[in-house]
Structure 1
């Protein structure tokens, strides 16, 4: 096991009252954003992937008070298929695996988010337009060539954290077949207190964001990099979906037992 952490505070729980933590973290986050955007454009002329976006996202995890532990072997080059619990999943995977991400094209309607996503080489996919799959395949392969690690959340939305949502095989169309010589690696994101982290139902995104930024207690997260899919597990999107769901469910069951022990 490899352990390392981002810790911004310690105490008890999420304080729903107005407190100093959220505003202070927001100020620090704004300063960090300005510094990283400046560095990004200064380094934009260099060849290869710009190193700033993963560093920026790792800093977001630090500022938000995330304490990350890593289980398993962090891949140098892979397609990651992870469960989705919170917006914190993104900075956590960028911090641990320097990952870029696959996102639904609805984010393109938000100029600020779109710009930040594009800086991190995000691949936007149109879920409802099946005729674009071949183009999406090319985009994903190009992104892996550029970034080495790319993450897709095949549940399609955020879940409760202590249980999985069904894996949507349709979301795996763009990696069917997987890029050659690129391992497909299931990843379990396990939060110690998922009820205080998960973004569920009709909760406004800003409300969830502020609740997390106002926490007094660190966000404890274990990132489990599971063994890559092999053999028949890679025989089409439905086989991949079934294998990933089985792997994640098994790992989550073991993790929950270990937590309760």
Structure 2
């Protein structure tokens, strides 16, 4: 009974919050107002609280621009978590555009959709991302290219760093900054998250979204650490594959530290 009431409360809050902010966001996008970058953060912050996601940040978002955030990816909840701590836009696979509810929200947040299977569109898509970076927007790249189990970091795809290279020609001083970010689901109901609850944290691609979403809403009270690493300057002399490996190592180190409780709270 309590779980059912909780699900009903979250869904009601989602509908009321979204419908109240929707016209404002559409107007901001239509008029090109800077509010269109800030409003999604407010939405994500409220929804995190409503869903019981307690987000703690460690380190700081880099002040340098253009800025590309490179993160691990375990679940759709990563969008809520990162979206609640910074004014960001996400790079998402093209299939997300057509997902019920989530695809609509991604479009409202002005996500950049990438069709990885169609190489002929790669140039235009990378150009879109690089133009966002040069315009001062903070772009989030989930460099694994898929979701993991939340306990590890999968190999980063260096090809996804092409947007940073494309932005160099128009970036001030010919420099783009890349910052590693680790997202770790570390606790539930005030207790360290063990193997039993780990499926609530991660959302592998072979698990249906509906049942997973309902499971998360029933539980709530999940603790999440967001670890910001030191940014790295990326210029024309920087090797993309080397940068991908460096970011992978730093994101993996941040995730491991958070899961082992080695981060000062």
TM-score, with structure 1 as normaliser: 0.83
> After superposition, what is the alpha-carbon deviation per residue over 1:2-39, rounded to whole angstroms, capped at 9, x for unaligned?
xxxxxxxxxxxxx9x95321121111111111111132
- Within 5 A, what are the aligned runs for 1:1-261? 19-44=4-29, 45=31, 47-50=33-36, 51-76=38-63, 77=65, 78-110=67-99, 112-146=101-135, 148-177=137-166, 179=168, 180=171, 181-192=175-186, 193=193, 195=198, 196-216=200-220, 218-230=221-233, 235-258=238-261
- Given that residues 233 and 240 in structure 1 are in contact (C-alpha distance below 8 angstroms), is that contact kept between their aligned partners in structure 2? no
In 1, Cα distance between equivalents of 2:260 and 2:97? 40
Residue 4 (structure 1) aligns with: none
- Aligned-residue offset at 1:201: 4.7
Gaps of 5+ in 1: 1-14
In 1, Cα distance between equivalents of 2:136 and 2:82? 13
In 1, Cα distance between equivalents of 2:14 and 2:238? 43
TM-score, with structure 2 as normaliser: 0.82
Q: Which runs of 4+ in 1 moved over 6 A?
A: 231-234
Gaps of 5+ in 2: 187-192
Corresponding residue SS for 1:258: coil
- Given that residues 91 and 113 in structure 2 are in contact (C-alpha distance below 8 angstroms), is that contact kept between their aligned partners in structure 1? yes
Alignment CA distance shift 1:35-1:68 (3 Å): same
Q: Which has the higher helix share?
A: 2
In 2, Cα distance between equivalents of 1:112 and 1:253? 32
- Aligned-residue offset at 1:152: 0.8
In 2, Cα distance between equivalents of 1:233 and 1:71? 30
- Given that residues 137 and 174 in structure 1 are in contact (C-alpha distance below 8 angstroms), is that contact kept between their aligned partners in structure 2? yes
Calculate the aligned-residue CA RMSD, in Å: 2.7
- Aligned-residue offset at 1:182: 3.0
